[in-house]
Structure 1
Amino acid sequence: MAVLGREQLPLVSVIIASYNHGAYVEQSILSVLQQTYPNVELLVVDDGSTDHSVGRIQQLQQAHGFDFRTQSNQGLSRTLNEAISRARGSLIVPFGSDDIMLPERLALQVDYMRDKPQVGICAGNIEEINELGVLLAPARPLPARRLTFDDIFMHRQPGAPAPTLMFRREALERVGGFDPAIRLEDLLIQLKITRIGFCIDVLEKVLAQYRVHPTNTYKNYRFMLENVLRTYAHFSDHPAYPHVCRRFRHSMFLKAAGTDKALAWQLLHEMPLHEWDGKTWRGLLRLLLRR
């Protein structure tokens, strides 16, 4: 088998949008710079951080020469769209400024996507680390899987972890990029891309480390509730739309019952009794018994 030279390999544009991740951003950037894949363009944008992020990034930029820009806070979707417009790669990788790529990640994904034009997004599995970078538990073994629109919208298979997404530029451009009106950008873009006929292939291999810390987005239940439901509303013509929204509300009620009682009571009052399921009863018990 002939080995491709660097000039023949697809250029991968990695975009790190940093916001107040001064404690983590250095590790995130270094994990990109240490990839075994040789043809990588790194663009880092600080989106109005108020901590010491900028200074840390500047030191790395001076040593390694990647593209670094600062701006007033614009939000993640606008920041990604602007960076993508400047990026030169045919493959686009948005990457969290608190997460870590494993060294072979980009090489594995580029090799997999070669000659698979139907794959709009390639992903992989993750393992979780804590604030100090210590592994929390072994990665949950999940098989390789192909995701269609219905798989994602109706939760028929485990999804594609956001820290591992690699986009084909053509797929992003065909759906108009990220939507600044929706602050939970990864779910909507996956649904849009699969809705127009692309698939998402998730590799079995662990490709990234997802950092668990107090400000993870998924821990903000009100934010998740609002933005996921707004995302689903884009596909209200789907026959399963009412069921998908109902199931998500019940799931969020169960989660909120333990930590956000005000939100839990709000959700409970919005759920007709005839729609209650096992999660509703478990959440109600949790809501009544926990102080």
Structure 2
Amino acid sequence: MLISVVMAVYNGEKYVEEAVRSVLNQTYPHFELIIVDDGSTDRTWEILEAIDDPKVKIIHQDKNHGAASCLNLGIEHAKGDWIAIHDADDISEPNRLEEQALYLQTHPGRIGVSSLIAGRIGNEIVVHNEEVHYYNLILDHGQIINTRLFSCYLCHGTVVFSKKAFYAVGRYNPKYKISYDYDLWLRLFQISPIEKIPKVLYHYRLREDSLGKQDRSKTIAELMAISSQHVYKNRIRRRKRKPVLTIVGSTKGCLFFKRHVGQNFAKKYYIRINTIKDVRKLIIRNRKGKLKAAVLLNNPFINKVYDDLVRRDASWRKKLFKIWNYKY
């Protein structure tokens, strides 16, 4: 079972050598490492060119294309049927690929597997961190599906997935610059949820200068767009006539969606719910037959509205979908 480890790097001189070394030190022998340098302007090129190992293939880009595009390129050159993602500033435990290969060999039919992580700041292991805590949750298939539209269950660099499944769902979408992994997970989950080995096999670098943390509003806007598009494509677009996508949230939430995400949908209708009386707007729209699918910009009040409606009539589950939210 050949595993192709794919790494995209841009100006990664500080950590890339350590990341590469952690891959080359794997106890599992059947792997290759494909590194795509995304037009780096620091010493990354020099560091990569100094690597002398037959397992390593390096692809240099003349200019920066973004991580999603680079990962697609790396996977195009992959010889293995399984793809292991590895971020250029993270570290894999020596037994990572061995453990994941064993899992896939003993669980036929699975399209991928992840693992638990250790958080890292520099060389220090960080235990008490919200991001690390979340990535280390173990969810069953039902929980993964039920929470997929407003949470990202998988740490990107921990995942080994089927190349066949990757191409079946359409590869990484270069349109997304931050949450391209989340977009891929949603599409892969339509085939099968990806489980985790309950062991720490990956060290995840906690960096405040990461692209996803530089502007939280941009990150959430992209997540909202991805989850909304997923609902639209799978619940609405299959119909002969394209109905309106209904967006339900607080005044602030709806305004944020309208400014940052709404342009992705030709037909949309906003229902602003700030008090219990406002819920009637949603109920009336449903009675009129105009509510085909609605995305709920979840917050504590909207979540309570959802729970109350579903408790009264389970059919609401097929129409209401809680997604990410930035401002309550």
By the TM > 0.5 criterion, same fold? yes
Residue in structure 1 matched with residue 20 of structure 2 by the alignment: 29
Question: SS at the partner of 1:199?
Answer: coil
Shift of 1:179: 0.9
- Between the aligned partners of 2:127 and 2:22, the Cα distance in structure 1 is 20
Is 1:69 the counterpart of 2:59? The answer is: yes
Is 1:49 the counterpart of 2:58? The answer is: no
- Between the aligned partners of 2:54 and 2:123, the Cα distance in structure 1 is 23
Deviations 1:67-93 (A, max 9, x none): 112102111111111111111001101
Q: Write the letter of the residue equivalent to 1:218.
A: G
- Between the aligned partners of 1:201 and 1:135, the Cα distance in structure 2 is 24
Pairwise CA RMSD: 3.2
Q: Write the letter of the residue equivalent to 2:25.
A: Q
Q: Write the letter of the residue equivalent to 1:133.
A: N
- Between the aligned partners of 1:78 and 1:46, the Cα distance in structure 2 is 11
- Between the aligned partners of 1:65 and 1:133, the Cα distance in structure 2 is 27
Is 1:16 the counterpart of 2:7? The answer is: yes
Is 1:186 the counterpart of 2:181? The answer is: yes
Question: SS at the partner of 2:126?
Answer: coil
Question: SS at the partner of 2:79?
Answer: coil
Unaligned stretches of 5+ residues in structure 2: 236-244, 261-269, 276-297, 303-326
Residue in structure 2 matched with residue 153 of structure 1 by the alignment: 148
Please report the TM-score for the alignment, with normalisation by the length of structure 2. Answer: 0.67
Query: Which residue of 95, 100, 103 maps to 1:104?
Result: 95
Give the conservation status (yes or no) of the 8 Å contact 2:249–2:273. Answer: no
Shift of 1:53: 1.1
Q: Write the letter of the residue equivalent to 2:123.
A: G
Shift of 1:222: 2.6
Q: Write the letter of the residue equivalent to 1:135.
A: I
- Between the aligned partners of 1:87 and 1:93, the Cα distance in structure 2 is 10
Residues paired across the two proteins, number: 249
- Between the aligned partners of 1:108 and 1:274, the Cα distance in structure 2 is 49
Structure 1 pair 152–277 and aligned structure 2 pair: CA distance change class (3 A): closer
Residue in structure 2 matched with residue 208 of structure 1 by the alignment: 202
Deviations 1:182-202 (A, max 9, x none): 22211011100111x222111
Is 1:135 the counterpart of 2:125? The answer is: yes
Deviations 1:46-75 (A, max 9, x none): 10111111111211x235661112102111
Instruction: From the CA coordinates, give the structure whose radius of gyration is larger.
Output: 2
Q: Write the letter of the residue equivalent to 2:169.
A: V
Give the conservation status (yes or no) of the 8 Å contact 1:118–1:199. Answer: no
Deviations 1:95-146 (A, max 9, x none): 110111111111111100114343222001111111x221122764946444
% identical equivalent positions: 24
